[in-house]
Chain A
Amino acid sequence: MPDDILIEAKKLTMYFPITKGIIRQRKVAEVKAVDGVDFYVRRGETLGLVGESGCGKTTLGRCLTQLIRPSAGEVYFEGLNLCQLREDQLRSVRQGMQFIFQDPFDSLDPRMAAGEIVAEPLRVHTRIRGRALREKVAFLLRVVGLEPSMAERYPHEFSGGQRQRLGIARALSIRPKFIVCDEPLSALDVSIQAQIINLLEDLQAEFELTYLFIAHDLSVVRHISHRVAVMYLGKIVEIANRNDLYLSARHPYTVALLSAVPIPDPLVEASRERIILSGDPPSPIAIPSGCNFHPRCPLAIEACREMKPPLVEIAPGHMVACLVRGRTS
């Protein structure tokens, strides 16, 4: 494995069983949330992960950090296969990986003061205590743009954007290398989103962080990511450098997704052709045969009904899983 890869997933799979029965539970079906996904994230880079709700992007982030143990596949973090580690062995590895959650209202304990929230990971993972701990907390609060005096306040006294800053300070406290940002902006107001984006970028430069940035807003993902992966029903359908993906998207789903993003300019919108996908994303319980996307795909051919397209490299670093458009040009 080349040195610059920090974390890599190989055939990562997460099926959740659906059971029936009260006393004797039997498995009647499976939710294929993540279905054999391969990708890597380089050191210091941001990989954007986009897809619609229910496509498995959050589950993917959680499997990667072993918050849920994947049902199959491997995750290598700095060369170590996390899926083979026991819970107690994972503990030390977890210091290197943190999570920033979507909802800054649900992910902070309402009965803990801000300072306590930020200090908690330090108490768990380090021996820093007393004055050193208070100083460290004050430093972290300043880093994310809050006043150290706010350490005494409780979460309800903060606005949404400030709460998200608090969540970021908590994630940073034990100096992780890798942070999964799971829709960190979707609960925030438009005018606050740019503040948090800038903060995440500054912190990445300052602390040499690597991000997996999960989001559904493609314009934000383009701004913050170096590479972008597009997910549909548990599979990665396209992955490429930021510019390659936005300028020469190949997969019909990526193309439709990009075209569905409204541009804040009436004149641009008036002259813009839009691809409106028909239908809804199918349920991950009843995944279609062949290509997962074929029932909604405007380009589907007969073969798409039968064959699952593999992820193929069509240009350096640009991978596409499509029978029609996944050929080297």
Chain B
Amino acid sequence: MNTLLHVRNLKTYFNTEAGIVKAVDGVSYHLKEGETLGLVGESGCGKSVSALSILRLIPNPPGKIMDGEVIFEGRDLLKMSEDEIQEIRGNRIAMVFQEPMTSLNPVLTIGLQIGEVLELHRYLPREEAKEEVRRLLKMVGIPDAERRIDDYPHQFSGGMRQRVMIAMALSCNPKLLIADEPTTAVDVTIQAQLLEIIKELTARLGTAVILITHNLGVVARYVNRMAVMYAGRIVESGPAVTVYHHPRHPYTIGLLGSVPRLDQPRKERLIPIEGQPPNLLHLPPGCSFYPRCAHRFTRCAGERPELRNVGTEHLVACFADF
């Protein structure tokens, strides 16, 4: 399959009063057409910023994309003019955010909001747009779509609002959907509904997905490949099965080992990753994970490990071999 997206050496920094925060510091990954990639990591690891950088949605100031390439369908999004990237946003690449209430306009009806997207991007006349909105709402499983088209966002539950966001995102048949923690604000039973919808619809439309999440379980069920981020860098990437069954980076190993699992007998004691999450203002000179690493040695303190190949499509940024 063809490569749809290629991110190379992306660097996004934020200028703060306390100093420069290297939120994304040299991230590279690629995505094939129709593929689902999971971007996993804890808060502040740069997973959202790296995705927002793809569409150049980083507020400047304080943020700035310092370096790198984002090749999408053969063109570098970072070199496009504002008008050109506007054509891509919402059209070829769509996004679903974590909090649907803040991404929807509270004073417009759901029908008008989705209709606006269709008029702007697909140039549909108003009546046709309305018909299409009905179809989209039905597609994401909103019951009684005929009537609810004239409702306002506050009349929808959290899960239903997120369905509206998914309908809106998919309304222009994008080639790529970026879902940034799409289920973090909803309950588990609703989370399951939403992820199934995203999976089913993107498979039907042939849309590639970048699924950003901190939930290791979500990634396991819904992605083909995954990349684990820590302190602004990818520390491990590969096919999901490989990363889950043969994790090589001490951070990935620690993360997988520290969560209790429902399908296994209860462990007497959890094995946590010691220490605190990194402060991006004061990263150690060598490996960012060094202070918390259970397998560190002297080389890690002074030298930063680059990603290296350890198996089929399996990359790890660690000096140690397990």
Contacts and interface: CB of A to CB of B under 8 A. Distances in A.
Interface of A: 52-53, 159-162, 189-195, 197-198, 201, 216, 218-220, 222-223, 242, 246, 256-270, 274, 276-281
B66 to A, nearest CB: 26
B72 to A, nearest CB: 27
A191 B277 contact: yes
18 contacts: A189-B214, A192-B272, A197-B260, A218-B188, A219-B262, A223-B270, A258-B262, A260-B189, A263-B261, A264-B244, A264-B256, A264-B259, A264-B261, A265-B220, A265-B263, A277-B192, A280-B158, A281-B189
Interface of B: 42-43, 143, 157-160, 187-193, 196, 214-221, 240-241, 244-245, 254-256, 258-263, 266-267, 269-274, 276-277
B263 to A, nearest CB: 5
B260 A219 contact: yes
Contacts of A270: 221
Given A262-B217, A266-B244, A191 B261 contact: no
A263 B220 CA distance: 7
A265 B245 CA distance: 8
B241 A266 contact: yes
Interface residue SS majority, chain A: helix
A194 B270 contact: yes
Contacts of A219: 259-262
Of A198, A242, A260, A278, most buried by chain B (CB within 10 Å of CB) is A260
B216 A190 contact: yes
B220 A257 contact: no
Nearest to B256: A264
Query: What are the 10 A-B residue pairs with the smallest beta carbon separation, nearest first?
Result: A262-B217, A194-B272, A52-B187, A194-B258, A223-B260, A264-B216, A269-B221, A189-B42, A194-B270, A191-B273
A223 B219 CA distance: 22
Given A194-B270, A198-B269, A266-B241, A189 B277 contact: yes
Contacts of B271: 194
Given A190-B258, A192-B272, A266-B244, 16 more contacts: A52-B188, A190-B255, A191-B255, A195-B272, A201-B269, A219-B262, A260-B188, A261-B262, A263-B262, A263-B263, A264-B216, A265-B220, A266-B241, A277-B192, A280-B158, A280-B159
Contacts of A281: 187, 189
Given A192-B277, A257-B188, A263 B266 contact: no
Contact of B191 (A191, A201, A258, A260): A260
Contacts of B241: 266-267
Contacts of B192: 259-260, 262, 274, 276-277
A277 B189 contact: yes
Contacts of A268: 220, 263
A162 B215 CA distance: 22
Given A190-B255, A267-B245, A220 B220 contact: no
A262 B220 contact: yes
Nearest to A162: B276
Given A265-B220, A269-B221, A276-B193, A191 B245 contact: no
A161 B43 CA distance: 12
A246 B273 contact: no
B199 to A, nearest CB: 11
B35 to A, nearest CB: 14
Contacts of B42: 189-191
B260 A220 contact: yes
Of B219, B254, B276, most buried by chain A (CB within 10 Å of CB) is B276
A189 B220 contact: no
Nearest to A256: B189
Contacts of B190: 52, 280
A309 to B, nearest CB: 20
A52 B189 contact: yes
A79 to B, nearest CB: 33
A266 B187 contact: no
B273 to A, nearest CB: 4
Given A192-B272, A260-B191, A261-B188, A269 B260 contact: no
B211 to A, nearest CB: 12
A264 B220 contact: yes
A195 B274 CA distance: 7
A281 B216 CA distance: 25
B311 to A, nearest CB: 16
B165 to A, nearest CB: 15
A264 B254 CA distance: 13
Contacts of A223: 260, 266-267, 270
A191 B275 CA distance: 9
A159 B276 contact: yes
B272 A246 contact: no
A263 B273 CA distance: 20
Nearest to A268: B263
Contacts of B160: 280
Contacts of B188: 52, 216, 218, 257, 260-261
Contact of A266 (B240, B254, B276): B240
Nearest to B218: A262
A198 B262 CA distance: 18
B43 A189 contact: yes
Contacts of B157: 280
Contacts of A194: 258-259, 270-273
A190 B130 CA distance: 43
Of A257, A258, A280, most buried by chain B (CB within 10 Å of CB) is A280
Contacts of B187: 52-53, 216, 281
B273 A161 contact: no
B147 to A, nearest CB: 16
A320 B74 CA distance: 59
A222 B270 CA distance: 12
Contacts of A259: 192
Contacts of B266: 222-223, 242
